[in-house]
Amino acid sequence: MNLNKMQLRLLLYLYERNGFSNGVQVTTPALARFLNTSQQSASRVMIKMEREGFIERRMVGRSCYVRLTKKSINELSELYAELKRIIEKPVEVVLEGRVFSGMGEGAYYISLPWYRDQIRKKLGFDPYPGTLNVNLLSWDSIQNRTLVGKYADIWIEGFKDRNRTYGGARAILASFNNSDLCAILYIERTHYGENVIEVISPVYLRGKYGLSDGDKVKITVTLPAANFSAAGQIPHEDKGQILPKT
């Protein structure tokens, strides 16, 4: 990208008006308005762009017609290709932290058929009865917890029995220590703070990895690039259509 803002805008202006195949009639006042600048600046940009071979100008009577050259097309294509490459690349989000012991509540909840069945159906695995608590330590990981939370859209419903209500959770699939399938739960009612994630897996992770409290673990989420390019922006927490209001 060798163009500055105004030069890029000029090319986009012409491209949009079919300036690659037709001369676009350009007046300095109109262009100045479009570029949000003075007529002198607009005129200067055009002169510079013509001198550098990005545009061709031709006077027909008192009207100025401007065409884009191949050089412009190449410049725009290149920028587009660069953006495409990096924006359409899936985003790998890493959460790192240290294992700690909870009160054993996780095991109780995951064992409840109501939750277990939903996890089987919606996440595609039969969960080991227990959650692994991970205390996120780095700035990146804590930020990433929030980021990943925006994409955690698998909804595990809560329920009510005669004694109490059981809260729901949002979940997202992830990879544990780059090898095992797991899911991060965003539990509606949790007494943990923003620096903790709770992880479930078909595998007994503590056993498989011989984990003791304080040991470091890594959970990786791959966010689809499509979310960025398709919607034009990242999704919001309040996707009313997918998740019920809580």
Q: Rule CB under 8 A: which residues touch a copy of itself?
A: 1-5, 8-9, 12, 15-16, 18, 20-23, 58, 60, 65, 67, 70, 73-74, 76-84, 86-87, 91-94, 139-140, 143-144, 147, 228-229, 231-234
Q: How far apart are CA 75 and CA 187, in angstroms?
A: 48
Q: Which residue from 137, 128, 135, 136 is spatially nearest to 106, judged by alpha carbons?
A: 128
Burial of 31 (0-12, 13-18, 19+ CB in 10 A): buried
For the CB of residue 233, give the shortest distance to a copy of itself in the complex, in Å. 4
* Residue closer to a copy of itself, measured from CB, 1 or 242: 1
* Residue closer to a copy of itself, measured from CB, 16 or 161: 16
For the CB of residue 195, give the shortest distance to a copy of itself in the complex, in Å. 15
For the CB of residue 121, give the shortest distance to a copy of itself in the complex, in Å. 29
* Residue closer to a copy of itself, measured from CB, 136 or 156: 136
Q: Tell me the CA distances in angstroms from 246 to 89, 158, 161, 242, 243, one per residue in order.
A: 33, 10, 18, 12, 9
* Residue closer to a copy of itself, measured from CB, 63 or 212: 63
* Residue closer to a copy of itself, measured from CB, 98 or 116: 98
Q: Which residue from 192, 12, 41 is spatially nearest to 102, judged by alpha carbons?
A: 192
Cα dihedral: 226, 230, 231, 233 (round 10): 60
For the CB of residue 148, give the shortest distance to a copy of itself in the complex, in Å. 9
For the CB of residue 210, give the shortest distance to a copy of itself in the complex, in Å. 28
Q: How far apart are CA 183 and CA 131, in angstroms?
A: 10
